[in-house]
Amino acid sequence: MYDTDDDAPILPADHLAAIEAVKLRMKEMTADYVRDLPEKLQALEDTWQALMGRTETVTTLETLYRQLHKLAGSAATFGFPKVTEVARRLELQLQPYVLAKSSLPEDLIEVVRHELNAIAHAAGLRRD
């Protein structure tokens, strides 16, 4: 954030201690996120399978879109920038169909399947 250490503001000792405590908490939360990530990806997979089962396709697509949005918004914060990148890319591809409340065209289905696998790979959870 600063060019040199000399440019950084001098903070009171209690503030520095608080910042160190935050860094420690951040490490703990990152470990929790890593632990919970397989569950989040399984939820994505379950939604995708429900969508392929052709039941309630519009609301299920909205659910998939929301799950991807949350993943895109959090993964990089906890050390998974590639997961954020792919989830965001897929979210944008789904967006027009969610807004139009329409089902996915056939040619996008293979793309979604590929991108969900790419998310699993990026998370270190190989699926194929």
Give the footprint of another protein on residues 82-101 (CB under 8 A): 84, 88, 91
What six digits make up the tokens of 10? 């001098």
Q: What is the x/- site pattern for another protein, positions 12-51, by CB under 8 A?
A: ---x--xx-xxx-xx--x--xx------------------
Contact (Cβ atoms closer than 8 angstroms) between residue 112 and residue 48: yes
| CA distances in angstroms from 51 to 75, 95, 122, listed in the order given | 24, 15, 23
Q: Which residues bind another protein (CB under 8 A)?
A: 1, 15, 18-19, 21-23, 25-26, 29, 32-33, 66, 69-70, 72-78, 84, 88, 91
